Structure 1
């Protein structure tokens, strides 16, 4: 009899434990679903806002042209340039959104191959020299001597370096300095981009890799930023088994560092 009672007690306890676990799991699931829904709403709101700004510009200039702006050749040319610039901002935003969606969903997995970082760095820097020259910025690629190869997707890693250098050039003042370098750290390789721009406030630094986060929203839009570039960098680097970090001192400059596994 006692054996039967003990078995019943154990069965009840086991059922209670299972019920508690299911309730706990369900509660966690509800919390996660709420978090995802909030993230979705925030994402939709951000995208809507980012698209609304250039659309409003296009509409305003088009209305001005339709109300007589076509009569003045100088005004006409200026309005057309503004419409083209707004359309370019929209296209850039859509491209970044599609890239980010492909990375987050896993539809664009890396295709790994051995890469010599010095060669890729020189190629990316050369493509951005004209952008730097327009602001008389010195864009310097430090020697990559002794830096081992990495196994990476060439196009994706090129996107990482391009985004980091492009950001550095945009936010560095006239006659500034932007440097790109790398160093070996045991079985890993660290690639960095440093600038002598305005720097990032300490309270903003932990958020710079978030989607649509901007330290200076007005200036970022003025410079053509979408607020997605660093988030794309983070996703690409993590898909390679690496990490990305940022250090900054206000008034001195910023350094963004990408760490990747060295090729075996």
Structure 2
């Protein structure tokens, strides 16, 4: 009888440990998660409610880890944005204050005074453009774009009229089509892409505006034969104030918001900005818009 009781007690202890082991795993993983280790997971293979509870815990832990990672990335992007914006704002303000102080310091020679006034005017224009594009960017992030039926030929005409200095280099390849779009915003997108293409190809080569029908809609894009973009830079292009060639962009007056705005315009149209490029082989950027069928 004593032996039987001992065996029953041992069996009960083993069963109890088997039943409580999953709960101990969950307790340990929960404590690990609460200390900030978001990789904590459990491995429960009991084929019962405890296994289901373990899978639910793992799903929750993975969701928490993904959310925290997304928050960290967003915080890092915001810090980069603030740092870049502060630098972008400081540069023209320093120039304006410096030349304004020069003019206040006393009578200057006419050529020196004219040069100082020119710098002040140029940097003030940069500030105005920066504020205008920031307002557009913030407005796009709020959404609310009204799409209408728009002819690509009309948009092409708007783009050409806005860039008279580049018109000899522009060429359109494709058949006219009607798409669902916001005409001013689509014009702004294509104008920015063409300006980027002109900066990338300073030899004066042709800048191609093109469109073609696909299974998903009408693909509309711009292609240049310029310097191209290294592969490691492609993912960063739509970040605010990011420049591939920082010195050239600043000399030409760019502020690094063009492709950011283009990406937001594409998103407002339910599309995504696509970029293909290789160093020394030019760049192609496009979006796909919904076609209006007759």
TM range (shorter): 0.7 to 0.9
**Structure 1: stretches of 5+ with no match in the other structure:** none
8 Å Cα contact 2:227-2:282 kept in structure 1: yes
Conserved 8 A contact 1:196-1:254: yes
Tell me, yes or no, if the aligned pair for 2:198 and 2:204 is still in contact at 8 Å.
no
CA distance 1:21–1:175, change in 2 (3 Å): closer
d(CA) in 2 for partners of 1:23, 1:253 = 44
The answer for the alignment partner of 1:39 in structure 2 is: 77
The equivalent of 2:178 in structure 1 is 149
SS in 2 for 1:63: helix
Matching residue within 124, 135, 138 for 1:101: 138
Aligned-partner SS, 2:111: helix
2:98 matched residue in structure 1: 60
Compute the displacement of 1:65 (Å). 2.0
Aligned residue for 1:243, secondary structure, equals coil
The range that moved more, 46-55 or 197-206, is 197-206
Bigger radius of gyration among the two: 2
Q: Give me the whole-angstrom Cα distance separating, in 1, the residues matched to 2:54 and 2:287.
A: 49
* Cα drift, residue 11 of structure 1: 8.6
Whole-angstrom distance in 2 between the partners of 1:141 and 1:253? 17
Alpha-carbon offset, residue 117 of structure 1: 0.6
Q: TM-score, normalised by structure 1?
A: 0.83
Q: TM-score, normalised by structure 2?
A: 0.75
Q: Where does the alignment leave 5 or more consecutive residues of structure 2 unmatched? A: 1-15, 24-47
| Structure 1 residues 181 and 11: CA distance shift in structure 2, 3 A | closer
Q: Please provide the CA RMSD for this pair.
A: 2.6
Q: Which residue of 2 aligns with 1:118?
A: 153
**Distance in 2 between residues matched to 1:198 and 1:22, nearest whole Å:** 47
Does the 8 Å contact 1:122/1:141 carry over to 2?
Answer: no
Q: What is the total number of aligned residue pairs between the two structures? A: 249
